[in-house]
Structure 1
Amino acid sequence: MTRELNVLGACPLDCPDTCSWVVTVRDGEAVGLRGNPGQPYTRGALCVKVNRYVEHTKAPDRILYPMRRVGPKGAGRFERITWDEALDEIAERLTAITGEFGGEAIWPYQGTGTLGYIQGETGQAGRRLWNALGASFHDLNICSRAGNTGLRLTNGSPGGMDPETFAQSRLILLWGTNTLTSGHHLWKFIQRARTDGAHVVAIDPIRTRTADQADEHLAIRPGTDAALALALLHVVLDEGAQDEEYLERHTHGWGDFEQEIRKYPPKVAAEITGIPEKDIRALGVRLAHTRPTGIRATMGLQRHRGGGTALRTIAAIPGVTGDWRHPGGGVAYSTSGHVPIQADTRLDLLPDGPVRSLTMTRLAEGLEDTADPVKCLWVYAANPMGSTSDQNRVRRGLLREDLFTVVMEQFPTDTVDYADIVLPATMQFEHADLHAGYGHMYLMWNEPAVPPPGECLSTTETFRRVARRLGLTDPSLYDSDLEIARQLLSGGHPSLAGITVERLRAEGWVRLSVPDPFVPFTDGFPTASGRLEFPGPGQAYVEPFTARAAGPYKLALITPASHTFLNTIFGNNPELARRAGGPKIAVNEKDAADRGLHDGQRVRVFNDNGELAAELEISDRVAPGVVMTPKGHWPKLSPGGTNANALVDERDADMGRGAVYHDNLVEIAPLPDPAKDEGATAPA
């Protein structure tokens, strides 16, 4: 007799929407997946990527058993071993490494493959074990750190608007964000606002899917966003529309910031940003006289040299206009700043106090350090060979024979190919987790729907077994998933009032205990002054690296999110890869003509870091001087064996050592035509 049930869960992926979903299970097998129609943000819809998640969990290349390397590093040749054999070898190698080099020689390289508080990045899964071993601290700065830091300087928190209140906005600035690809559930609230007369502006170097649907698109030069923000405020001042009462009662440093604004009239900003002066002035007038104005600014915006400053200055706009007074006014970046959950990583387990910090975006540099070498790289929920800057240097680091590399994974990624030991990891249907979206105000529970296939283990269970094999005795290393969840929710913060594990398991999702509509900072800002703090003299704009193309490379490279991949997740899914096609580089017609290039041509995109083989696409979606190729392709599945990160510098943004994926210069040249080459060399 067929037995069917529906299990409530949540999407684990690095997306602001963190959807609530329903898994249909028939006779112990997941057979269907849909968005939870009862959850106010998800409302029954998933994205084009996650719609194939059931298929993805059953893919023939799923890693199901522990493996040991048998070929050279990078070759991807392994033999199956037992869990006991894997744990014995891991324990032996870790014991030897810590004995000779100390615990800091271990780098636990965690990524955002899952954002769960139990299994993933937001809860720093595994950190208790690493602290007990004295391992280096992993500074997970790759995604949003520059922007977070800039927002903290202005607002005291990266938390801002409840995105649902965009339905009440009358002017919406989608600033450096492609909503319809990277968080499409927000669009229904934007559409509701448009029904009531809201005007929607997309500010983006690329004419994205979202820009196509906006009322207006401003094609800004990459990295010049702060200059535009200052110019818009210049017009607000010209119009006499600043909110003097709000400035007096709720802000700090207005006098100095006003002087900064006066340095950037629309004419000056037009030269910097590439946006016509009349368009800057027109938007400035609209901003001056439209309340509430809601600004959606997400992570792509801050991946350049001045990324932190850009968010810091954009966040100042509602301080001048007083938009923080209103539902639908302010800036929305990451609602994670409103989630009062702190993971207990047990810093007291550290054997000798604080340890060194190794920065995620500086992986190549860390692996090259010979004075204080990394001897064990333990990778989980990450694919640094596909996702990290300066790909060729990272590859050289992973090829080190003296580096013991363990990778916990679901699929044979490029990073897996460099592992010494591979451990099979569960997927979201197969383990418990607690989630909070960074684009909404809900907590969600993911209940295991089916047993893990093969010998896959969850992150938490893997680390429990490693701790046991190492003979570690602290009881916190063996806490169950439910115990961890209860600890996470036990902080006593008012926003968690009434939210328990039992309630979450029963209902699937619960809104944080905050007012609805939620208007942040009504009781002051969590800054030292208790007020919004404006940037000081010289702190409102940092010129991007790409602004000075004085050398041989003249084209600014943008590597936005793909519509079919999420970072490199789904890069091996046959249908999604088919829809994405091979790597393409979008080039403006003028730049193509200047280089004698034609549409559909095979080209090499290159700089001093490396090169990418791609198909040229002449497009008016990019302005002259800008080229674009979406991220997410697996290097080993791409022509030439690289993806766009082979072109990205391992450089720091201005704040938080953030990544600079959108602040690199490249050039483009033809690749040989294989058909012509074959014809030239074929025998008569």
Structure 2
Amino acid sequence: MTRELNVLGACPLDCPDTCSWVVTVRDGEAVGLRGNKVQPYTRGALCVKVNRYVEHTKAADRILYPMRRIGPKGSGRFTRIGWDEALDEIARRLTAIIEEFGGEAIWPYQGTGTLGYIQGESGLAGWRLWNALGASRHDLNICSRAGNLGLARTNGTPGGMDPEMFARSRLILLWGTNTLTSGHHLWKFIQDARADGAHVVAIDPIRTRTADQADEHLAIRPGTDAVLALALVHVVLDEGAEDRDFIERHTEGWEGFEREVRKYPPKVAAEITGIPEKTIRALGVRLAHTRPTAIRATMGVQRHQGGGTAMRTIACIPGVTGDWRHPGGGVAYSTSAHVPLRVDPRRGLRPETPTRTLTMTRLAEGLADTRRPVKCLWVYAANPMGSTSDQNRVREGLLREDLFTVVMEQFPTDTVDYADIVLPATMQFEHADLHAGYGHMYLMWNEPAVPPAGESASTTETFRRLARAMGLTEPSLYASDLEIAEELLSADHPALAGVTLERLRAEGWARLNYPNPFVPFAGGFPTPSRRLRFVPEGKGYVPPATARADGPYKLALITPAPHVFLNTVFGNNPELARRAGAPKVLVNAKDAADRGLSDGQRVRVFNGHGAMTAELQVSDRVAPGVVAAPKGSWPKLSPDGVNVNVLVEERDADMGRGAVYHDNLVEIGPVP
């Protein structure tokens, strides 16, 4: 008889929605996947990318066995080996590196390929092992760090609104976020608000598919978001609509912030942001008189030189309007800070060994350091050759013959091609994990639905095997996945009241035990004074690097997320790659005409860091002076072996050394 069952799980990918899903399994094989209809945020819908996940797990190019390199680095030539052989070689090489250079010569380069608290970066998977070995600490700052720190400077935490509260909003500012592509489940709540008369504004350098559906689109110049925020507050003050009671009772630093605001009337802001003065003034008037107002600002808004300051200043708006008083008012960036799980990487396993911190956004720099050299790069849940800035210099580092590189992967990415040893990794249907969305207030349990494919192993199982191969005796290195889950849920926090592993495994999800409706700062802000901290005078705006287009490169480059890829995940899926098409660059008609370029022409996009070829699309979706080239393609599947990150400088944002993917100048010309 055919035996069919449904297994509850969760999407692991780097998206705020973290969907609850149901896997249909027939005779031990996953044959179907659907969104969980009873989960309040997922509501039965998955995205265009994850709808192909069953197909993706069975792809012909999936890595199923350990492999050793047999060709030059970068060639992608490997031979199959056994797990024992792979682990013996790794243990021997790591031991030799530690003896000669110390544990800090090992760089565990973890990414956001999975966000799980057991298998992924949210729980710092593998860090007990790395701390036991004295490895360098990995600063995983590439995605959202600048914005997190900016919000924390204002509110004391990057945590803010429950996105479900957008259904109660009357004015919604979608600021630097393409909701319908990168977290589309929020749109349902926006639609609920619109049904009650809410006005939706998209603030974005690109007229995205979200901007197409909004009531207004403000085509802001990249990196000038803080100026717009200050100008909107300026109009609120002109209208006499600031919430004086809230300011006096719940904030600090008002006088200095008011002086900063007065420097940016709409006329001045229009010159900087490229948004017409009358448009800024009209939105400011609407903001002044519409309660509650919700601001959705996600990671794109802070990927430039002044990204942290931009989020810090945007976060001041509800402090002026008093929107934090109301369900449906405030700022939503990430809900991760509301998740009180107990993450324990056991940092004290080698307390006698001082360790350095290596920064994710500075991979090329770290691999080029000869004073304290990295001798082992261990890559997992990451594809830095495709996703990291300064692609040409990263490639130089990965080509080092003295660099022992181990990659744990599901598919033969560009990074895999530079590995010495490749270890096959399980996919989400094949292992247990605990998830929390950074765009909602739920915990999700992922139950294994099918056995691991081939000889693949989960992240936790791989590190248990390596600890055993290295003869380590620390008991915590061998904790099972269910033991880790129990430990994560053991935090003494009221938000976890009633949330047990038994319940999660039975039901698949549980809402964190916060009030509903959730007003996050009803009891005060988590700052020393319990007050929101306004931006000091002179600290409200850090201009982007693209503001100085006085050299040979005149066009500000944006690298948006495409609709069919998630970072470089799915870049090898034939159907999704077909939908994405060849690399493209969107250019305004004026800029194309100024350079004698025409629609559909193959062009060279270049700057001092590198160059790529792309198909030029003349479009009014970008303003003059701005070009857009989507991220996510695999370099080795592109015509010239690179993607758009070859044009991105390895440079720091103003806070947290955040990445600057949207703050680079380029030029465009015909292909020679």
Query: Shorter-chain TM-score: what band?
Result: over 0.9
Superposition deviation, residue 341 in structure 1: 1.4
Equivalent position of 1:480 in the other structure: 480
Aligned-pair CA distance for 1:639: 1.0
Q: Find the counterpart in structure 2 of residue 45 from structure 1.
A: 45
Contact 1:557–1:628 (8 Å) recurs in 2? yes
**CA offsets, 1:314-345, max 9 Å, x none?**
00000000000000000000000111113100
Give, in angstroms, the shift of residue 351 of structure 1: 4.4
* 1:512 matched residue in structure 2: 512
1:468 matched to which residue of 2?
A: 468
Partners of 1:220 and 1:361 lie apart in 2 by: 26
* Secondary structure at the counterpart of residue 640 of structure 1: coil
Residue of structure 1 in register with 2:35 after alignment: 35
Cα displacement string for residues 227-248 of structure 1 (whole angstroms, at most 9, x for unaligned residues): 0000000000000000000000
Letter in 2 for 1:122: S
1:512 deviates by 0.2
Q: State how far apart, in whole Å, the 2-side matches of 1:558 and 1:527 are.
A: 34
1:49 maps to a residue whose letter is K
TM alignment of 1:564-603, pairs within 5 A: 564-603=564-603
Residue 237 of structure 1 corresponds to which residue in structure 2?
237
SS of corresponding position for 2:15? coil
Which structure 2 segments of 5+ residues have no match? none
Stretches of structure 1 that go unaligned for 5 or more consecutive residues are: 673-684
C-alpha contact (below 8 Å) 2:3/2:27 kept by paired residues: yes
- Match of residue 297 from structure 2: 297
Q: Distance in 2 between matches of 1:351 and 1:77?
A: 40
Give runs of aligned pairs for residues 329-408 of structure 1, distance below 5 A.
Answer: 329-408=329-408
Taking the aligned partners of 2:513 and 2:441, their CA distance within structure 1 comes to 9
Kindly provide the CA deviation profile for residues 523-580 of structure 1, in whole angstroms up to 9, marking residues without a partner as x: 0001121100011121110000000101000000000111000000000000000000
* SS of residue in 2 equivalent to 1:115: coil
Q: d(CA) in 1 for partners of 2:483 and 2:394?
A: 37
- What is residue 456 of structure 1 aligned with on the other side? 456
The letter for the 2-side match of 1:613 is T
Q: Which residue of 2 aligns with 1:677?
A: none
AA aligned to 1:197 is: G
The equivalences for 1:104-503 within 5 A come to: 104-503=104-503
Separation of aligned partners in 2, 1:239 and 1:272: 23
Q: Is the 8 A contact 1:252 1:534 kept in 2?
A: yes
CA contact (8 A) 1:132 1:351 kept: no
| Alpha-carbon displacement from aligned partner over 1:333-391 (angstroms, at most 9, x marks no partner) | 00001111131000110242441000000000000000000000000000000000000
Q: Residue 13 of structure 2 aligns with which residue?
A: 13
Distance, in Å, in 1 between the alignment partners of 2:234 and 2:492 is 44
Alignment partner of 1:348: what SS?
Answer: helix
Q: Could you say which residue in structure 1 is the equivalent of 2:606?
A: 606
Find the aligned partners of 1:631 and 1:128 in 2 and give their Cα distance.
33
Aligned residue for 2:200, secondary structure, equals strand
1:629-670 Cα distance to aligned partner (Å, 9 max, x none): 110000000011000000000000000100000000000011
SS of the residue 1:129 aligns to: helix
Amino acid at match of 2:47: C
C-alpha distance in structure 2 between counterparts of 1:352 and 1:570, whole Å: 43
- Give CA deviations for 1:17-36 in whole Å, capped at 9, x if unaligned: 00000000000000000000
AA aligned opposite 1:530: R
What one-letter code is carried by the residue in structure 2 that aligns with 1:171? L
Structure 2 SS opposite 1:639: coil
Distance 1:57 1:64 in 2: 11
Given that 2:305 and 2:542 are in contact with CA atoms closer than 8 Å, whether structure 1 keeps it comes out as yes
**Percentage identity across paired residues of the two chains:** 83
Q: Which amino acid aligns with 2:529?
A: S
In structure 1, the partner of 2:550 is: 550
Please give the secondary structure, in 2, of the residue aligned with 1:104.
helix
The 1-side partners of 2:116 and 2:188 are apart by 26
Q: Is the 8 A contact 1:325 1:522 kept in 2?
A: yes
Letter of the aligned partner of 1:268 in structure 2? Answer: V
Amino acid at match of 1:445: W
Query: Which residue in 2 is equivalent to 1:89?
Result: 89
C-alpha contact 1:8 1:20 (8 A) present in aligned 2: yes
8 A contact 1:134–1:352 mirrored in 2: no
Q: 1: distance between equivalents of 2:268 and 2:295?
A: 23
Distance 1:448 1:342 in 2: 22
Cα distance in structure 1, aligned partners of 2:93 and 2:31: 41
Question: What is the alpha-carbon distance in structure 1 between the residues aligned to residue 195 and residue 4 of structure 2?
Answer: 41
TM-score, normalised with respect to structure 1? 0.98
Higher mean displacement: 342-351 or 488-497:
342-351
Matches of 1:224 and 1:609 in 2, distance apart? 24
Amino acid at match of 1:666: V
Assess if the C-alpha contact under 8 Å between 2:342 and 2:487 holds in 1: no
Name the amino acid aligned to 1:597.
Answer: L
CA RMSD of aligned residues (A): 0.5
Q: Distance in 1 between matches of 2:203 and 2:352?
A: 49
Q: What is the letter of the counterpart of residue 66 of structure 1?
A: P
Residue 118 of structure 2 contacts residue 125 of structure 2 at CA under 8 Å; is this kept in 1?
yes
Q: 2: CA distance between counterparts of 1:352 and 1:669? A: 56
**SS state at 2:247 partner:** helix
Deviations 1:188-222 (A, max 9, x none): 10001000000000000000000000000000000
- Aligned partner letter, 1:402: D
Deviation at 1:254, TM superposition (A): 0.5
Work out whether residues 146 and 655 of structure 2, in 8 Å CA contact, stay in contact via their aligned partners in 1. yes
Counterpart Cα distance in 2 of 1:425 and 1:30 = 17
Q: Which residue of 2 aligns with 1:25?
A: 25
2:342/2:490 contact within 8 Å kept:
no
Post-superposition Cα deviations, 1:97-125, rounded to whole Å, max 9, x if no partner, equal: 00000000000000000000000000000
Question: Using the alignment, how far apart are the partners of 2:32 and 2:630 within structure 1?
Answer: 29
Alignment partners' CA distance in 1, 2:195 and 2:586: 34
Q: Which amino acid aligns with 1:396?
A: E
Equivalent-residue separation in structure 2 for 1:527 and 1:309 (angstroms): 18
Aligned partners of 2:347, 2:409: CA distance in 1, in Å?
27
Structure 2: distance between partners of 1:402 and 1:639 = 30
* Distance in 2 (alpha carbons) for counterparts of 1:630 and 1:550: 25
In the alignment, the residues of structure 1 paired with residue 314 and residue 337 of structure 2 have an alpha-carbon distance, to the nearest angstrom, of 17
Matches of residues 60-79 of structure 1 in structure 2 within 5 Å?
A: 60-79=60-79
Kept in 2: contact 1:602–1:614 (CA 8 A):
yes
TM-score (norm 2): 1.00
| SS in structure 2 of the partner of residue 181 of structure 1 | coil
Pair 1:539-2:539 in alignment: yes
Given the alignment of the two structures, is residue 637 of structure 1 paired with residue 624 of structure 2, yes or no? no
Q: Which amino acid aligns with 1:514?
A: Y
**C-alpha distance in 1 between matches for 2:352 and 2:132:** 10
